[in-house]
Structure 1
Amino acid sequence: MIYAYVHMHLTDMTALAAYREKAGAALAKHGGAVLSAAPQPTALEGKLPLPDMAVILSFPDKEHALAWIDDPELTAVHALRQAAGDVSVILIG
């Protein structure tokens, strides 16, 4: 199992809502799932700016995670996430 951290500073809630409608199926296509999502995460240590939304995704392995992010059939879905604001997706592992 491998995980991805999604760090979101949101500016377009309409795009986020549209993304949420499609995100589950897009993740599932590559064995991914949302493990946790927090609209108001809490800093335990450090001074990095907190996101408006923090999400932890799981994938069976790195190859599945890369297949999800690189899937040309999911370009429009990824564009919705990107249109929601300043978003970073970081693979952990």
Structure 2
Amino acid sequence: MLSLATGLTSLGCDISARLGGGMTAFVIGQMQIHSRDWMAEYFAKVPDLVAAHGGQFLVRGGNPGHLEGDNPVPDAAFILEFPDREHASEFWNSPEFQQLAKLRRTGSALNAILVDKLTGN
């Protein structure tokens, strides 16, 4: 009998990463921008803060285009890569980033998720 963890691993989902293993993690975000007043300060500081937590931007802005679904196309999108979920969470929950997130919220709405890289890739 195949266990759930074995089955998920065969599909590229390493359950051990959720239990403390080290797997590359991505933060994927879609942003609707209502005002640009916050952007200069935010984008002047965020890249260095991401890097200080071991991360890097893979996509920033991204020129989003519609492929499928009913959700509106975001004004901007981003993908951040971190060594693992711990680094990503430490970045996201850091006081420095939360202060910038508060600034960002004055002129935008963000949907962001944290996902793991497929194993073996």
Secondary structure of residue in 2 paired with 1:13: coil
Would you say the 8 A contact 1:4–1:90 is kept in 2? yes
Q: Give structure 1 stretches of 5+ with no counterpart.
A: none
Larger radius of gyration: 2
Alignment map for 1:1-93 (pairs within 5 Å): 1-38=24-61, 40-93=63-116
Aligned pairs, how many?
93
Structure 2 unaligned regions, length at least 5: 1-23, 117-121
What percent of counterpart residues are identical? 33
Matched residue type, 1:27: V
Structure showing the higher strand proportion among its residues: 1
Where 1:69 maps in the other structure, the secondary structure is helix
- Tell me by how many angstroms 1:39 deviates: 5.2
For residues 46-74 of structure 1, the C-alpha deviation after alignment (integer angstroms, 9 at most, x for no partner) is: 22211100111111100001000111233
Partner of 2:38, secondary structure, is helix
Deviation digits for residues 11-48 of structure 1 (CA, Å, limit 9, x no counterpart)? 12120221000001111111111101235311222222
Question: Greater RCO between the two (CA within 8 Å, min separation 6)?
Answer: 1
Instruction: Tell me the SS of whatever aligns to 2:37.
Output: helix
Tell me how far 1:88 sits from its aligned partner. Answer: 2.0
